[in-house]
Structure 1
Amino acid sequence: MSWKTYTVKEPTELTVSKYVKERFSLSSRDIQMMFRKKRVKVNSRVAHSQRALKKGDVLTLELPQDKDYGVDVEKGPITVLYEDAHTLVVNKAPFMLVHPAGQTKSCTLSNYVAGYYAKKNVVHKVRPVHRLDRDTSGCILFGKTKEAQQYYTDELQAGRIDRIYTGLVEGRIDADGMVDAPIGVDPVFDNRRVIDEFGQSAQTEYTVLGYEGDNTLLRFKLLTGRTHQIRVHMEHIGHPIIGDAMYGTRNKPYTRQCLHASELTFVPYGKDEAIMITCEVGDNFGRE
């Protein structure tokens, strides 16, 4: 357990128990244990779970610590781009899932992150804040604690985490632009996404970086975060991502889609200043 102090900075009508549960993404079981063992205080006094909170109240909590990693621990290659007490950013290699899913229970990035934590003799449940497709490489953000994960989830939903991608697309694009087209689930293949007037709004900005033969290297900024967003939008405007077998074609020498999460800009949990994490595209982009 670890004692921490927080000031309620926003107006609220929640009780202490509801505020703590929502603010720190705790389970009902954790909440019950904390109040039963008197591990929640308001303004230095042990608090009743139904006490009403108000702006300016000072919460002192003994938060439960993680007891396991949430996934199997495996040794594997990890490239750390940034780390502090609450945050980890790593470079995901292509051909790898972020987290176990379906029949894939091992050799995912989360398994290797668990192995990285274990090697350092610390226990943190593995908490990816966002995802990348299996064949997309680049920056992935993890929250080491429940409160950090909740903070980053809120920041992402509020659009305060900038995610920049680098991609190689078919054909020449001569000017910067933006694709604004809603995305929905393909009615036939539910693992695909399509442009759908009744789907979720989706906006992708793109900037021309240069050319490789008849193809264009682009910088993408996500204004929303829909599944396969960049890939669907580029197919929609007639310039699919090179090597994208689902939304275009894949021909030799390309072995995967040429899409890489190259930058993350965010204010780390517990800090005041934004940082930018960069991860350069490899020499054999899409041909690994």
Structure 2
Amino acid sequence: MPDRQLADPARKLNEYNVTQNESEEFAMERLTAVVPYELAGMRLDQALAELFADYSRTRLQAWVKSGRVTVNGRALKAKDKLEGGEEIVLEAEEEVVVDSEPQDIPLDIVYEDESLLVVNKPAGLVVHPAAGNWDGTLLNALLHHDPHLETLPRAGIVHRIDKETSGLLMIAKTLQAHNSLTQQLQEREITREYLAITRGRMTAGGTVDEPIGRHPTDRKRYAVREAGKHAVTHYRVLNRFAHHTFIQVMLETGRTHQIRVHMAHIRYPLLGDPVYGGRFQMPPDCGERLEAELRNFKRQALHAAKLGLLHPVTDEYLEWEHPLPEDMAHLLEALEANERR
């Protein structure tokens, strides 16, 4: 977890030192990065794709040709190879990169300034347009809230949570912020804590360190697979019930469906999870109130409760917490009341 004090002013996020060109006339931002030595021997266009992954290779190559990219102050060709340690300056020209339509969808804004936005996403809201959900998403809502976000990759969205998961999400409002937050995610410097209710009574907390990849037969699902990507989930018990457990989950990595897959893998699937939780079963000794709550709870019991990061401009550590939404809070109350029967 990151240190919750002001960071060293000399610190660079993964060797980035990003500054913004203040000229509105040219609508441009100047981004700088120091080439890591592990990229030594790589072509300039390949290194740019690694360092500025939110831009297509076509755009990056066009900027190289137009002289918007310099290496230690010199313009190079896309095929020129790097030695590592060079300073790259990219003058990223602002242009529309998002073609989705703005939609007047209410946003629960937790924090906002000129470079950063934090929202509390309700369960049921898709973060980004995709097959089956081309509109009515958080991205559409963001474009209505701030039309300038159409010039940022994915309208400034740097991470996602599942449609039926509620909780805190960060959105960059400038290219500088987008690069900073992306690098913090890659360097595992973002604090992300979740609250969840699982099926089954846990005896203790622990850590799941298992790789996650696409399910071998169902491409819409993920699974623990030897050939998958490194994934680490820490969890601790907050309250135990007869057949359920209320837990706090800390993500060390951020793979798709990570918490849901890892909890199912250790045989404590999230309550209400239609994909990884198996067939619904009413637990024994279940009172009328709890039975009603369980039958009416139609999503995975997962809430992104805490988010912490280094501010992309001031480098100050900021942290937000958001309480459980009503549906999870009522479910937890019913579980607690059932224990007292």
- What's the TM-score bracket when you normalise by the shorter of the two chains? 0.7 to 0.9
* 1:211-230 equivalence runs, <5 A: 211=240, 214-230=243-259
Residue 261 (str. 1) matches residue 288 (str. 2): no
CA offsets 1:159-181 (integer angstroms, 9 cap, x no match): 11121111011122232211222
Are the structure 2 counterparts of residues 92 and 36 from structure 1 closer, same or farther at C-alpha, using a change threshold of 3 Å? same
Q: 1:278 aligns with which of 311, 321, 325?
A: 321
| Matched residue type, 1:161 | I
The count of residues paired between Structure 1 and Structure 2 equals 283
Shift of 1:99: 0.4
Q: Does the CA-based 8 Å contact 1:96-1:108 persist in structure 2?
A: yes
* Structure 1 position 18, deviation (Å): 7.5
Given that residues 66 and 124 in structure 1 are in contact (C-alpha distance below 8 angstroms), is that contact kept between their aligned partners in structure 2?
Answer: yes
Distance 2:76 2:248 in 1: 49
Whether the 8 Å contact between 1:257 and 1:286 is mirrored in structure 2 is no
- Note closer, same or farther for the CA distance 1:63–1:207 as it changes in structure 2 (3 Å cut): same
Task: For 1:239-258, list aligned pairs within 5 A.
Answer: 239-248=268-277, 249-250=279-280, 251-258=294-301
* Residue pair 1:242, 1:257 contacting (<8 A) in 2 also: yes
Q: Could you tell which deviates more after superposition, 160-169 or 278-287? A: 278-287
Higher share in strand: 1
* Post-superposition CA distance 1:51-90 (Å, at most 9, x none): 989969695x654224364321100010122223332221
Deviations 1:70-121 (A, max 9, x none): 3211000101222233322211111121100013111011111111113xx7
Cα separation, partners in 2 of 1:207 and 1:27, compared to 1, 3 Å: same
* Structure 1 segments unaligned to the other structure (5+ residues): none
In 2: Cα distance, 1:262 partner to 1:210 partner:
16
Residue matched to 2:20:
none
TM-score by length of 2: 0.69
Q: Aligned residue for 1:160?
A: 189
Q: Which residue of 2 aligns with 1:201?
A: 230
Q: Distance in 1 between matches of 2:145 and 2:84?
A: 41
CA RMSD, Structure 1 to Structure 2 (Å) = 3.3
Gaps of 5+ in 2: 1-26, 281-293, 332-341
Write the mapping of 1:125-164 to structure 2, written as runs, cut at 5 A.
125=152, 126-164=155-193
- Alpha-carbon distance, 1:189 to partner: 1.1
Mark the CA change 1:257 to 1:146 in structure 2 (over 3 Å): closer, same or farther: same
Partner of 1:48: 75
Alpha-carbon spacing, 1:53–1:148, altered in 2? closer, same or farther (3 Å): farther
